[in-house]
Amino acid sequence: MKYRKMLTSLPKPPGAPIPTAHGPRDWQKDMQDALRGRDALLQFLELNPTEAPESLLENPKFPILVPRGFARRMRPKDWRDPLLAQVLALSRENLRVDDFSDDAVGDLASQVVPGVLHKYASRVLMMISAQCAIHCRYCFRREFPYGDLPRGKDGHEDAWSYLENAEGVDEIVFSGGDPLFLDNKRLEGILDHAASLPRIRTLRFHTRLPIVLPSRIDSGLVNMLAKAGDTRAVVMVVHANHPNELDETTRMAAQALRRAGVLLLNQTVLLHGINDDADTLADLSRALVAQGILPYYLHQLDRVSGTAHFETPESHGLELIASLREKLPGYAVPAYVRELAGEKHKRPLT
Ligand code: SF4
């Protein structure tokens, strides 16, 4: 009850279109213009691959993809930039490490129909897009067999049938890939279908686009979300790992979403050498709160093949959380969790 009240008390001018900085299709142009491949990225940052401090992959199977707007937030000529470190493919990705596997969180075992994961009692995850705007090297789904997902506008019929009969489920988590990679027309069809399911009270998006491609938050999208919010709670869990990821463009995207009545939360992955120090995490929380986004989860790294060099020990994560408690108000300290295959909820580590 309190939760509904919190959502409905967010500013939302009834019936009025919500202005945004972006028009339809701006984001698709931005994606056409994205940096693809190692050399394009390094050239943009004025870095020479022959001077790299460690061995790089030139053509990784999980290709390098970075929107230019996100690359502009990196420091030129700096191999140690924390945003660059999230997208640059190192030869270390090819090391086989014990306990790291292709499906670390048990996605395939929880797939009830193609593209639908049912892990937790009250919510079901629908993978509605196989694409992302950026390829994060530590991605927990980097090995997911996206080619097997249903395609096209009628591709979700099995998912809808499953949801119609899923007892106790009152929330759909739209995921992928990135669910906001679908264009507004496709997304509207999905939201309309979700709105026809009487048991569903909450529509949640797990997306990195408001951070890495803020132009995606265009007027068509925010007005569609505002309309969906008239009958359902709409929650968006964005994904930022470092304070340098947030700038004026993400602030404007977050503002438009909040005006549409969307509850904004953030999840962060704890990443060695990128954000595993208390000052960086505290600055991230402060930057998120300043943009109206509540820090929600700090994830211990999922042990997916190719990502071992990003792992920080849990004992260090616990020290970081203790330090954050001293630095920040309680609402700005994320819950430190890890996901383990087969468990009925994320495991709290604090
Ligand atoms: S945006 Fe999310 S799903 Fe896509 S590559 Fe990054 S971590 Fe993976």
Check pocket membership of 240 for ligand 1, CB cut-off 6 A.
no
Is 275 a domain residue? yes
How far, in Å, from the CA of 18 to the mean position of ligand 1? 28
How far, in Å, from the CA of 212 to the mean position of ligand 1? 10
How do residues 89-103 score in pLDDT, each as one tens digit?
A: 999 999 999 999 999
Is 69 a domain residue? no
Please tell me the predicted confidence (pLDDT) of residue 325: 98
Check pocket membership of 139 for ligand 1, CB cut-off 6 A.
yes
Rounded average pLDDT over 273-294: 98
Determine the Cα–Cα distance for residues 236 and 210; give it in Å rounded to an integer: 10
Is 108 a domain residue? yes
Mean pLDDT, rounded, of the chain:
93
Question: Is a pLDDT exceeding 70 seen at residue 6?
Answer: no
How do residues 31-49 score in pLDDT, each as one tens digit?
A: 999 999 999 999 999 999 9
Is 193 a domain residue? yes
Check pocket membership of 208 for ligand 1, CB cut-off 6 A.
yes
Number of domains in the chain: 1
CATH of the domain at 123: 3.20.20.70
Question: Is a pLDDT exceeding 70 seen at residue 14?
Answer: no
Rounded average pLDDT over 119-128: 95
Please tell me the predicted confidence (pLDDT) of residue 152: 72
Question: Is a pLDDT exceeding 50 seen at residue 8?
Answer: no
How do residues 258-270 score in pLDDT, each as one tens digit?
A: 999 999 999 999 9
Handedness of CA 300, 305, 307, 308 (dihedral sign): positive
pLDDT band for position 9 (50/70/90)?
Answer: very low
Is 16 a domain residue? no
Name the closest-CA residue to atom 3, ligand 1. 177
Please tell me the predicted confidence (pLDDT) of residue 18: 75
Rounded average pLDDT over 290-296: 98
Please tell me the predicted confidence (pLDDT) of residue 12: 52
Do β-strands 263-269 and 294-299 pair in parallel, antiparallel, or remain unpaired? parallel
Check pocket membership of 237 for ligand 1, CB cut-off 6 A.
no
How do residues 230-266 score in pLDDT, each as one tens digit?
A: 999 999 999 999 999 999 999 999 999 999 999 999 9
**What residue has token string 């604090």?**
350
39-43, 147-151, 226-230, 329-333 — which is least confidently predicted?
A: 147-151
Query: What whole-number percentage of the chain has pLDDT above 70?
Result: 95
Question: Is a pLDDT exceeding 70 seen at residue 58?
Answer: yes
| Full strand arrangement of the beta sheet holding 347-348 | 111-113, 116-120, 123-127, 171-175, 202-206, 233-239, 263-269, 294-299, 335-338, 347-348
H-run or E-run covering 337: strand 335-338
Which stretches of 67-222 are assigned E, i.e. beta strand? 111-113, 116-120, 123-127, 171-175, 202-206
How far, in Å, from the CA of 93 to the mean position of ligand 1? 16
More confident residue, 13 or 282: 282
Check pocket membership of 136 for ligand 1, CB cut-off 6 A.
yes
Rounded average pLDDT over 326-347: 95
Determine the Cα–Cα distance for residues 186 and 207; give it in Å rounded to an integer: 16
User: Which two three-digit tokens encode residue 335?
Assistant: 């819950």
**What residue has token string 């505002």?**
226
Determine the Cα–Cα distance for residues 291 and 287; give it in Å rounded to an integer: 6
Check pocket membership of 132 for ligand 1, CB cut-off 6 A.
yes
Is 339 a domain residue? yes
Determine the Cα–Cα distance for residues 99 and 85; give it in Å rounded to an integer: 23
Determine the Cα–Cα distance for residues 329 and 134; give it in Å rounded to an integer: 32
How do residues 309-323 score in pLDDT, each as one tens digit?
A: 999 999 999 999 999
Domain, as residue range, for 336: 2-10+98-348
How far, in Å, from the CA of 239 to the mean position of ligand 1? 9
Determine the Cα–Cα distance for residues 20 and 180; give it in Å rounded to an integer: 16
Please tell me the predicted confidence (pLDDT) of residue 85: 98
Determine the Cα–Cα distance for residues 165 and 178; give it in Å rounded to an integer: 26
How far, in Å, from the CA of 131 to the mean position of ligand 1? 9
Rounded average pLDDT over 7-30: 69
